[in-house]
Structure 1
Amino acid sequence: MDHQLDVVIPVYNEGGNILATLGALARELKTPARVLICYDFEEDDTLPAVREHPETHAGLKVAFIRNSSRGAHAAVMAGFAASTAPIVVVFPADDDFNAGILDRMVALMRRGCDVVCASRFMLGGTMQDCPWLKAVLVRTAAFTLHHLAMLPTRDPTSGFRMFSRRVIDRIAIESDQGFCYSIELLVKVHRLGWRIGEVPALWFERQHGASRFQVLKWLPAYLRWFRYAFATTYLRRSPATVLMRSDPTRSAGLAAIRSDAI
């Protein structure tokens, strides 16, 4: 394998954003990497934008991954399934300002972390121009999970997150909506006692295209993993209650350990 990092980018008509994002990755990312652009349908305007302007991301390996269904969750799952590198990161399609932190995240992974969070709420991070309802919910969730549930990150709800190969291969994802998989993997890794790190990240409200983050629609799914995080901290739940993969093609020799999820 000639790359150490797979950068999974879920897209939905991101033609107005993707070239700047790929250009930033090509300029700033030093870790040998491959970019997986995960799309729903062939008419997505992201595809011709990338194919017709290879000069904007010269030297960056790019592959296109067609989702088996539709939606943000399906896009990320398609990327995970196609990934082969020892480290995987889910990166926003409209983010042309955080490429420079990926090498720092990789360095933490190499020092033993299984998850590294890109944190808007630690020193050096920021979240700007966020719609007020989303900002209130996200900041409240972050404060609650970090200070009360004792999750070792200040930004537990972000979808911009890096995972080790063993997280992708060994922990089954039960969520099926939006970016809920991200907090699910985080709280399961926490229950297992695996290491979690974070680096400061920037966040600005997108300028082109519509966000796929649907706060109210996904809220019940997020609350399930809130309860899981609190149960880990206050009910001393066993690591054996984490659902592990039993697919022999992804994790040979593992048996599925089923739980009540909480």
Structure 2
Amino acid sequence: MTLTPQVSVVIPVYNEGEAIVPCLERILRAVLMPAEVLVVHDMAEDTTVPFAQSVAARDPRVRTVLNTYGRGPANAIRFGIDVARAPVAVVTMADGSDDPRQIEDLARLVERGVVVAAASRYMPGGQQVGGPRFKRALSRGAGRTLYMFARVGTRDATNSFKAYSTAYVRQVGIESKTGFEIGIELTAKAARLRLPVAEIPTIWLDRQLGESRFDVGRFLPSYLKWYRFAFGRRLTMEQLAKRPASSAARDDAQAARAASTVAPAEVRDTFSSNHEAVQN
């Protein structure tokens, strides 16, 4: 029996190699609702691809998807959400730091009406284990002040492990093109639009294999941009749409979805499985 996915799990990857296999296996065991798992890579020669494809051969919920927006995690996440077929997209990392058992809980919050559901390390019941102290301090401080003063609906706006209404994302667009600041961007936009955001506690574990590619110095300016944006006055969807960057982001999303149906054969093969039903 074939089913349309309820949730699209978007995993940006970069040369994860064999380490992607246990990550995917944990997700596939944990997610019981109809799902697609998109392993989004920037280049055909990424070492993650053959290992992800070996898992896909056993479980058709998994697909490798070539990101055509440009390299980097923000572009990979943007592309993954734009081509997702489910009404809910959950972004999670390939390093095993996120708890895959919470994917369904996050997705169900979006099904109930929130536009952003955050896995929060900083609410009661949440915890962050490991990671650089300076990064932890910045993240916790940003989350606390955004929650208290900008009323963004979560104490952990900077965490990438979130679920989104894909309809909401396609309305507001994603402007981030650098690092992992998409989480705070979409949370800040929801706050300015007065749209509902919710959170559940999570325990985040620092990656055990490989090295983190989060560069505080490189990504901090982009985080600060969206941190400041969250404190503005209320916006309507029309006012947000008039921002040139928002319009460009929506154009990118429309082009990506169109490419999945009308692209030349050599490109269309990359996207073909976006139109196949997902096996339960």
User: Which TM-score bucket, shorter chain as reference?
Assistant: 0.7 to 0.9
| Per-residue deviation, 1:180 | 1.6
Corresponding residue for residue 170 of structure 1: 171
How far did residue 216 of structure 1 move? 1.7
Pairing 1:127–2:125 present: no
2:202 aligns to what? 201
1:154 aligns with 2:155: yes
Tell me which residue corresponds to 2:67. Answer: 67
Matches within 5 A, 1:38-117: 38-53=40-55, 58-59=58-59, 61-68=61-68, 69-95=70-96, 98-117=99-118
Query: Is the CA contact (8 Å cut-off) linking 1:26 and 1:60 kept in structure 2?
Result: no
TM-score under structure 1 length normalisation:
0.86
The alpha-carbon deviation at position 51 of structure 1 amounts to 2.6
2-side partners of 1:220 and 1:148: how far apart?
Answer: 20
Match in the other structure for 2:215: 214
- Equivalent position SS for 1:231: coil
The answer for unaligned runs of 5 or more in structure 2 is 256-280
Q: Residue 34 of structure 1: CA displacement?
A: 0.3
Query: Is the 1:13–1:209 Cα contact (8 Å) retained in structure 2?
Result: no
Q: Alignment length, in residue pairs?
A: 246
Answering whether residue 43 of structure 2 is matched by residue 2 of structure 1, we say: no
Contact persistence 2:173–2:253 (CA under 8 A): no
Q: CA, structure 1 residues 237+19, in 2 after alignment: closer, same or farther (shift >3 Å)?
A: same
CA shift for structure 1 position 97: 5.5
**Change in CA separation of 1:124 and 1:207 when aligned onto 2, cut-off 3 Å:** same
- Paired with 1:205 and 1:172, the residues of 2 have a C-alpha distance of 30
> Which segments of structure 1 move beyond 2 Å, counting only runs of 4 or more?
50-55, 236-241, 243-251
Report the Cα offset of residue 231 of structure 1.
1.7
Does the residue aligned with 2:231 lie in a helix, a strand or coil?
helix
Aligned amino acid, residue 131 of structure 1: P
Partner of 1:241: 239
Distance between the aligned counterparts of 1:249 and 1:90, measured in 2? 17
Q: Report if the CA contact (8 A) 2:53-2:63 is conserved.
A: no
Of the three residues 16, 24, 30, the one matched with 1:22 is 24
Letter paired with 1:123 = P
Q: Which has the higher contact order (CA 8 A, sep 6+)?
A: 2
Letter in 2 for 1:195: P
Kept in 2: contact 1:118–1:199 (CA 8 A): yes
Question: How has the CA–CA distance of structure 1 residues 207 and 112 changed in structure 2, closer, same or farther, with 3 Å as cutoff?
Answer: same
CA contact (8 A) 1:33 1:60 kept: no
Give the corresponding residue for 2:139: 138
- Specify the code of the residue in structure 2 equivalent to 1:41: M
Paired residues of 2:36 and 2:61 also in contact (CA < 8 A): yes
Alignment gaps of 5+ in structure 1: 252-262
Q: Distance in 1 between matches of 2:252 and 2:174?
A: 16
The CA RMSD over aligned residues, in Å, is 2.2
* Deviation sequence 1:160-197 (CA, Å, 0-9, x none): 11110222211122222111222111111111121111
- SS in structure 2 opposite 1:52? helix
- 1:17 and 1:132, CA in 2 relative to 1: closer, same or farther beyond 3 A? same
